């Protein structure tokens, strides 16, 4: 149970004593006061009093002025009757780590090497690295189920040798050692900062780390969200710039309608962390092909980056990746990255799948951008990361703004991104017979609608459609994306079509006049209102 | 000729208009109706699911009860559809419609030996095929999201017996050499001494997709006995059964 208290009367707090120097620097950067009431400790008398009435106190939350405890119904009645108790809330159990089963490739064959290269190069990591942006001086907190095998793994020796692990804590066991339990955290760490020789598994190879074990095990024992909340406060204290969390709470404790960023305490905590200048990256979840279908908590939180997964083989949404929007219709996921990634644990490299690995890939990328722009406030960093998505300003509820691109931040002549065709335009042609608009990509110098160059390597649809699990990365693919957005900003529908002679079509009469159609192709986005289109026909 | 040209033109037009190849498409409104909907799902206002259960009939110690083989050969299985109506976070009402097959393998004994007085069959089985309706009150425990969670059901089932069979199997010494060289199987149908209705009280404790069930049959199995059991009432079959149930996921 969370027991929320009414006040923090008679408490003493010295921020310079409590916070790490990086936490103070972050507050200064964000223009925040060094302290506010959410940083104050709890009233010790209140905590002591509650401790006498319940079975055990599991922990406390300064941010929420709350005590996590175990208590019977009778005990709860007594606690609820106390004058300094505001309310009581049940806690969630059994989060699901957003990991799928291993794909099962232990040896690095050519396809796996493509994945390994693609998981960072799809974000143009070499451009960052060539310019020295490798997360240096940025502090990343990683919350997971354990970091088994981390210390022995070759992929992390640069982190260990550089003394980059700044703090660790195992919240379920209440001790500092985190390098046991599950290897999921080791997998995740490899997607943030792993490297073997010159093979980069993640982007932030020079970052500093705070490692927190927040879960006791996967899918077996009860795991409480209090650990996650306390870990976030711990990360704040230690000066985290970025938090990566690859877990989600779904139907065990919530209805999908609760995914509004306000219902679950971890979503509230994630939003609070954002308010304090921490960039929280959370996996969207792996519920895309289940009945739940949508994002989980805390991926629904406001102002955090929710990361979806794409399948390298198809170049678009991996079927398991959870969909947005939130139940109050905010955009989620915000960005996406590979949902199949090469990870390491115990010196084994293999492909694993799940948005568990998409999120750390973006967290590592974000650390490089934070190094590039230490002066940016969180809001600037958050907005610019979204703007760097390869689909921006197009977005949808499967891909967000797409995969973040380093070329947005660093101008370069040679990148592997989608080639921008400066002469291409997107045109809406009315087809009277069908009472619909056809979307055409063409060159204004020619009256012909252009055919795409027939490069099979870049066009998996020319071959039989590959399955999600086929591990072939073919580079970013110039699909035609289209969405219709209503006046409130919510998407009504969205789709991707194969580029070609007739690249897409829609019936304008289906939509209200103030809706907007937005089409994206090869880095170009065109938009028109339905009213404009109706006038055009 | 003009007709053929028209058909070809129309076909080409259709081909042209279907040239767009949608490889990924989402209707957001439909998704929202499907997902952000309080009434849907296992803890929604109304929830239906299929289930399968299997149980064994416990041997009875009562003197007037027929003995059954206790090696799990007297058992039942059923398949049904359950619909649950949520009353509040704690209580729900539910209805079951199901098919149930019951099999009683009767242990032949000198003392209580139903249907074949004066003769011990090698094997004797009584089978019922029934269609049932059930009603139950569900009590849920603990807080939960959109899952069934932990629950206790208390209810009653009424089964209509649409088919019943009495099987007997014996090795018969046809040659008269004492070798018992012929197996004779006898099936009796349309038994007029069995009840067409069976009533059960049911208690079920479940956690999400799995439940334990205990059932007590409160109606008698036999309605008349003078023909087959002239010395009195046919000994009743055991009334208590226990089993497990698996809910079949809806996705």
Query: How many angstroms separate the CA atoms of B35 and B45, rounded?
Result: 14
CA proximity to A498, closest of A467, A477, A484 = A477
Mean pLDDT confidence for A119-124: 92
Distance CA A32, CA A179 (A): 34
The shares of helix, strand and coil residues in chain B, as percent rounded to the nearest 5, are: 10, 50, 40
Interatomic CA distance for residues A46 and B77, integer angstroms: 56
User: What mean pLDDT do residues B215-231 have?
Assistant: 76
> In the predicted model, is pLDDT for residue B43 greater than 70?
yes
Task: Please identify which residue in the block is written with the tokens 């001086």.
Answer: A137
Find residue A482's DSSP bridge partners: A495, A519
User: Which residues lie below 8 Å from residue A319, measured CB to CB, with a gap of 6+?
Assistant: A288, A289, A311, A468
pLDDT higher than 90, residue A180? no
Phi, psi at B133, each rounded to 5°:
-125, 140
What DSSP state is assigned to residue B112?
Answer: S
Q: What is the DSSP letter of A198?
A: T
CB contact under 8 A, B25 and A505: no
SS3 A143: strand
Mean pLDDT across A131-147: 95
Inter-chain touch A291–B38, beta carbons under 8 Å: no
How near does any CA of chain B get to the CA of A15, in Å? Answer: 38
Interchain CB contact of B147 with A (< 8 Å): yes
Question: Which three-class secondary structure state does DSSP give residue A240?
Answer: coil
pLDDT at B226: 61
Residues of chain A with Cβ-Cβ distance to B42 below 8 Å are 251
Tens digit of each residue's pLDDT (9 = 90 or more) over B116-162: 556 677 888 899 999 999 999 999 998 888 899 999 999 999 999 99
Query: What mean pLDDT is reported for chain A?
Result: 85
| pLDDT at position A356 | 93
pLDDT band of residue B191 (cuts 50, 70, 90) is: confident
Instruction: Indicate whether A208 pLDDT > 90.
Output: yes
Q: What does the alpha-carbon distance between residue A473 and residue B22 come to, in Å, rounded to a whole number?
A: 21
Q: Is pLDDT of A507 > 60?
A: yes
Extract the tokens encoding B204: 């079920």
Q: What is residue A42's DSSP assignment?
A: P
- A471-480 pLDDT tens trace: 444 556 678 8
Structure confidence at residue B88 (pLDDT): 92
Q: List, edge to edge, every strand of the sheet that includes A335-338.
A: A165-170, A208-213, A139-144, A242-245, A279-283, A305-310, A335-338
Using the 8-state DSSP alphabet, how is residue A449 labeled? B
Q: How would residue A57 be classed by pLDDT, with cut points 50, 70 and 90?
A: confident
SS3 (DSSP) at B51: strand
Q: If DSSP codes are grouped into helix, strand and coil, which group holds residue A45? A: helix
* Higher-confidence position of A452 and A49: A49
Are A325 and B28 a contacting pair at CB < 8 A? Answer: yes
Length of chain A in residues, anyone? Answer: 537
- What is the distance of C-alpha A7 from the center of its chain? 34
CA distance B29 to chain A (A): 6
Which of B11, B21, B41, B148 best probes binding to A when mutated, by most A CB atoms within 10 angstroms?
A: B21
The CA dihedral of A213, A325, A479, A360, to the nearest 10 degrees, is -10
Q: Inform me whether the pLDDT recorded for A303 exceeds 80.
A: yes
Please tell me which of A94-98, A193-197, A416-420 the model is most confident about, judged by mean pLDDT.
Answer: A193-197
pLDDT tens figures, B89-105: 899 999 999 999 999 98
Contact A501 B146 (CB under 8 A): no
Lowest mean pLDDT among A452-466, A469-483, A498-512, B101-115: A452-466
For residue A182, the 8-state DSSP code is -
Handedness of CA A168, A171, A175, A178 (dihedral sign): negative
Residues 6+ apart with CB under 8 A from A502: A438, A440, B16, B17, B19, B20
Angle between helices A44-53 and A73-80 (to 10 degrees): 150
**A345 or A369, which is more confident?**
A369
State how far the Cα of A11 lies from the Cα of A41, in Å rounded to an integer: 7
pLDDT for the residue numbered B230: 59
A chain contacts of residue B45, beta-carbon cutoff 8 Å = none
Q: Which of A91, A266, A267, A291 to mutate to test the interface with B (most CBs of B within 10 A)?
A: A291
Token pair, residue B189, equals 């149908």
A358 in Cβ contact with A340 (< 8 Å): no
Nearest CB among A252, A317, A498 relative to B145 is that of A252
Q: To the nearest whole angstrom, how far is the Cα of A401 from the nearest Cα of chain B? A: 16
Cis before A393 (ω within 30): yes
Residues 6+ apart with CB under 8 A from A366: A242, A279, A281, A305, A381, A385, A404
* Confidence band of B110 (pLDDT split at 50, 70, 90): low
Q: Which residues of B touch A505 (CB under 8 A)?
A: 17, 20
Identify the pLDDT of residue A464. Answer: 34
Looking at residue A339, its pLDDT comes to 93
Report the candidate in A51, A88, A45 with the shortest Cα–Cα distance to residue A66.
A88
Which of A182-186, A358-362, A533-537, B101-105 is the most confident on average?
Answer: A358-362
* Phi, psi for A378 (deg, rounded to 5): -60, -40
* Residue of B28, B34, B146 lying closest to A255 (CB–CB): B146
pLDDT at residue B11 greater than cutoff 80:
no
Tell me B16's DSSP state: H
Task: Tell me the HSE value of A481 on the side-chain side, using a 13 A CA sphere.
Answer: 27
Distance between CA A192 and CA A125 in Å, rounded?
12
Record the tokens describing residue A112, joined without a space: 């796996």
Provide the percentage of residues in chain A whose pLDDT is more than 70. Answer: 85
Task: Write down the number of H helices and E strands in chain A.
Answer: 13, 24
Where residue A458 falls among pLDDT bands split at 50, 70, 90? very low
**Residue-level pLDDT at A491:** 95
* Measured distance CA(B202)–CA(A323) in Å, rounded: 41
| Chain B residues lying within 8 Å of A500, measured CB to CB | 19-21
Q: Which residue of B has its CA nearest to A263?
A: B145
CB contact under 8 A, B250 and A291: yes
Contact A501 B250 (CB under 8 A): no
Which pLDDT score is estimated for A490?
Answer: 94
Tell me what pLDDT residue A417 has. 47
3-state secondary structure A395-445: CECCCECCCECHHHCCCCCCCCCCCCCCCCEEEEEEECCCCEEEEEEECCC
Q: Can you give the pLDDT at residue A277?
A: 95
Query: What are the C-alpha distances in Å from B50 to residues B53, B81, B82?
Result: 10, 4, 6
The residue that leads in pLDDT, A455 or B201, is B201
**pLDDT reported for residue B17:** 43
Report residue A198 CA to chain centroid gap.
Answer: 26
Q: Is the pLDDT of residue A121 over 60?
A: yes
What is the rounded average pLDDT of the residues B176-200?
83
Residue A50 has pLDDT above 80, yes or no: yes
Q: How far apart are CA A493 and CA B201, in angstroms?
A: 51
Which band of pLDDT confidence, cut at 50, 70 and 90, is reported for residue B228?
Answer: low
Q: Which residue has the higher pLDDT, A143 or B12?
A: A143
Q: What distances in angstroms separate CA B87 from CA A252, B8, B137, B141, B218, one per listed residue?
A: 20, 61, 10, 14, 28
Mean of pLDDT values over A103-121: 74
Q: Do A461 and B35 touch (CB under 8 A)?
A: no
Contact A49, A67 (CB under 8 A): no
Q: Report residue A498's pLDDT band, with 50, 70 and 90 as the boundaries.
A: confident
Q: Confidence class of residue A330 from pLDDT cuts 50, 70 and 90? A: very high
Burial (CB < 10 A; 0-12, 13-18, 19+), residue B63, is exposed
For residue A467, what pLDDT is reported?
A: 46
Distance CA A405, CA A336 (A): 11
Question: Cβ contacts (< 8 Å) between A486 and chain B: which residues?
Answer: none
Cβ pairs bridging A and B (under 8 Å): 105
User: Is B37 in CB contact (< 8 Å) with chain A?
Assistant: yes
Please indicate whether residue A149 or residue B231 has the higher confidence score (pLDDT): A149
A251 and B28 in contact by Cβ < 8 A?
A: no
Provide the pLDDT confidence category of residue A457 given band limits of 50, 70 and 90: very low
Tokens 């299997």: give the residue. B54
Q: Between B109 and A292, name the one with better pLDDT.
A: A292
pLDDT digits (tens, 9 = 90+) for A410-450: 976 554 444 555 566 788 888 888 888 888 776 544 444 44
Picking from A256, A284, A290 by the largest number of B CB atoms within 10 A of its own CB, the best residue to mutate is A256
Q: Which helix (H) or strand (E) holds A387?
A: helix A378-387
**Which pLDDT band holds residue B234 (cuts at 50, 70, 90)?**
confident
Q: In this predicted structure, what is the pLDDT of residue A224?
A: 66
In this complex, do A255 and B250 lie within 8 Å of one another by their Cβ atoms?
no
| Interface check B140 vs A, CB under 8 A | no
User: Hey, CA dihedral for A177, A183, A184, A186, is it positive or negative?
Assistant: positive
């Amino acid at each position: 149970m969370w027991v929320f208290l009414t006040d923090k009367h008679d408490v003493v707090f010295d921020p310079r004593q409590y916070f790490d120097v990086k936490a103070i620097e972050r507050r200064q950067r964000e223009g925040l006061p060094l302290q506010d009431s959410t940083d104050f400790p709890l009233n010790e008398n209140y905590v002591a009093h509650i401790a006498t009435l319940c079975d055990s106190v599991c922990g406390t939350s300064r941010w929420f002025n709350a005590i996590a405890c175990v208590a019977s119904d009778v005990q709860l009645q007594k606690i609820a009757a106390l004058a300094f108790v505001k309310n009581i809330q049940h806690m969630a159990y059994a989060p699901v780590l957003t990991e799928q089963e291993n794909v099962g490739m232990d040896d690095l064959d050519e396809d796996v090497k493509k994945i390994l290269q693609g998981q960072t190069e799809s974000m143009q990591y070499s451009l960052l690295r060539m310019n020295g942006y490798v997360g240096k001086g940025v502090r990343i907190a990683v919350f997971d189920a354990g970091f088994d095998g981390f210390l022995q793994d070759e992929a992390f020796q640069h982190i260990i040798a550089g003394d980059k692990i700044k703090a660790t804590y195992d919240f379920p066991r209440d001790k500092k050692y985190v390098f046991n339990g599950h290897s999921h955290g080791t997998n995740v760490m490899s997607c943030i900062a792993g490297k073997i020789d010159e093979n980069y598994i993640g982007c932030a190879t020079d970052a500093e780390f705070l490692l927190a074990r927040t879960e006791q095990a996967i899918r077996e024992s009860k795991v409480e969200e209090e650990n996650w909340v306390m870990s976030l406060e711990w990360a704040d204290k230690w000066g985290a710039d970025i938090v990566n969390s690859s877990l989600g709470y779904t139907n065990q404790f919530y209805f999908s309608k609760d995914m509004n960023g306000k219902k679950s305490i971890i979503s509230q905590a994630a939003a609070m962390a954002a308010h304090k200048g921490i960039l929280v990256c959370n996996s969207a979840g792996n519920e895309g092909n289940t009945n739940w279908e949508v994002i989980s908590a805390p991926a629904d939180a406001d102002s955090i980056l929710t990361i979806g997964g794409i399948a390298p083989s198809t170049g678009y949404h991996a079927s398991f990746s959870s969909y947005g929007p939130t139940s109050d219709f905010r955009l989620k996921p915000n960005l996406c990255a590979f949902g199949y990634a090469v990870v390491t644990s115990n010196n084994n490299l293999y492909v694993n799948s799940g948005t568990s690995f998409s999120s750390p890939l973006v967290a590592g990328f974000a650390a490089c951008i934070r190094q590039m722009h230490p002066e940016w406030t969180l809001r600037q960093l958050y907005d610019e990361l979204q703007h760097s998505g390869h689909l921006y300003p197009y977005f949808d509820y499967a891909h967000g703004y797409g995969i973040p691109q380093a070329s947005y931040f660093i101008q370069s002549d040679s990148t592997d991104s989608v080639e921008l065709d400066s002469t291409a335009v997107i045109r809406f042609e009315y087809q009277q017979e069908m009472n619909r608009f056809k979307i055409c990509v063409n060159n204004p110098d020619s009256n012909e609608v252009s055919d795409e160059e027939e490069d099979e390597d870049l066009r998996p649809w020319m071959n039989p459609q590959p399955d999600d699990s086929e591990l072939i990365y073919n580079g970013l693919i110039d699909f035609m994306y289209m969405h219709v957005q209503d006046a409130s900003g919510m998407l009504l529908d969205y789709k991707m079509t194969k580029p070609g002679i007739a690249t897409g079509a829609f019936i304008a009469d289906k939509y209200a006049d103030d809706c907007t159609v937005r089409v994206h192709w090869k880095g170009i986005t065109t938009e028109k209102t339905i009213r404009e289109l109706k006038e055009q026909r | 000729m003009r007709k053929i040209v028209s058909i070809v033109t129309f076909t080409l037009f259709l081909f042209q208009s279907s040239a767009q190849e949608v490889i990924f498409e989402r209707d957001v409104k439909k998704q929202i109706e499907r997902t952000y909907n309080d009434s849907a799902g296992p803890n929604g206002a109304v929830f239906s699911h299929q289930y399968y259960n299997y149980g064994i009939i416990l041997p009875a110690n009562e003197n007037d009860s027929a003995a059954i083989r206790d090696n799990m050969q007297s058992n039942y299985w059923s398949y049904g559809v359950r619909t649950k109506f949520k009353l509040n976070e704690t209580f729900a009402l539910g209805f079951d419609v199901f098919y149930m097959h019951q099999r009683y393998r009767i242990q032949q004994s000198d003392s209580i030996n139903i249907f074949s007085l004066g003769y011990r069959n090698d094997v004797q089985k009584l089978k019922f095929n029934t269609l049932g309706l059930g009603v139950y009150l569900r009590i849920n425990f603990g807080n939960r999201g959109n899952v069934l969670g932990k629950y206790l059901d208390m209810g009653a089932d009424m089964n209509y017996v649409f088919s019943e069979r009495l099987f007997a199997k014996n090795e018969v010494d046809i040659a008269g050499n004492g070798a018992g060289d012929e197996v004779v199987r006898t099936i009796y149908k349309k038994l007029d001494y069995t009840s067409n209705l069976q009533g059960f009280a049911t208690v079920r404790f479940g956690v999400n997709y799995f439940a334990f069930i205990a059932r007590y049959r409160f109606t008698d199995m036999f309605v008349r006995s003078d023909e087959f059991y002239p010395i009195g009432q046919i000994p009743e079959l055991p009334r208590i059964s226990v089993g497990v149930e698996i809910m079949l996921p809806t996705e």
